Structure 1
Amino acid sequence: MLIGVIRPTETRDLEAAGASLEAIASAFQAQVPEGWQLTHQSVTMPKGSSALTATGRMARWGELQEVQAPDLDALHAAVPDGWALMSVRRA
């Protein structure tokens, strides 16, 4: 019997605008729910404007589960959509 540790792979894109980098960071943090983590952000300033715009991405973070199967092919088949197999060990 094999035991696999899986984690979610779901991500979501975010948008924010503000007058400063601190305002952008606050706007992103207000959009990130518990159990999620901001993974990246990109800030731009359009020509002729003093306002900053940003895009970012958040991902589900820290949630691990285990799946079991008799062999590696069955273990891969047991991983639900939206999840990734992180490690495998023998029971």
Structure 2
Amino acid sequence: MLVALIRPVEVRTVSVEGEHIPDMRNEVITQMPEGWDLINAPVSMARGGARKMEATFQRFDELREIEAEDMDALIAKVPEGWMMLSVRRA
């Protein structure tokens, strides 16, 4: 018997504009859903001298375990929109 740890694969993107990167980061953090992490926040120059931050959040909550007799069956049990993180023998 194999046991896999799985989690949802979901990302969201938020755009903010401003002059000061720390203020922009704080604004982005206030928009981050609970159970999500900020994984990328590149900054580019926008028109008029302002800066634009395109922040990407990824969901890391809601871990689950699934079981199957072999690896092929285990892979088949991973729901759409989820990813397998690890596999161990039961």
2:9 is the alignment partner of 1:9: yes
Q: How far off its partner does 1:57 sit?
A: 0.6
Q: Which residue of 2 aligns with 1:24?
A: 24
Q: CA RMSD in A?
A: 1.3
Matches for 1:1-91 after TM superposition, within 5 Å: 1-47=1-47, 49-91=48-90
Structure 2: unaligned runs, 5 residues or longer: none
TM-superposed CA distance for 1:50, in Å, is: 2.6
Distance 2:42 2:68 in 1: 41
For structure 1, the 5+ residue unaligned runs are none
1:17·1:27 contact (CA, 8 Å) conserved in 2?
no
Question: Amino acid of the residue matched to residue 77 of structure 2?
Answer: A
TM-score where L is the length of structure 1: 0.89
TM-score for both structures, normalised by structure 2:
0.90
**Aligned partner letter, 2:13:** D
For 2:65, the aligned partner's letter is E
Q: Which runs of 4+ in 1 moved over 6 A?
A: none
Separation (CA, whole Å) in 2 of partners of 1:46 and 1:53? 6
Distance (Å, rounded) in 2 between the aligned partners of 1:46 and 1:64: 38
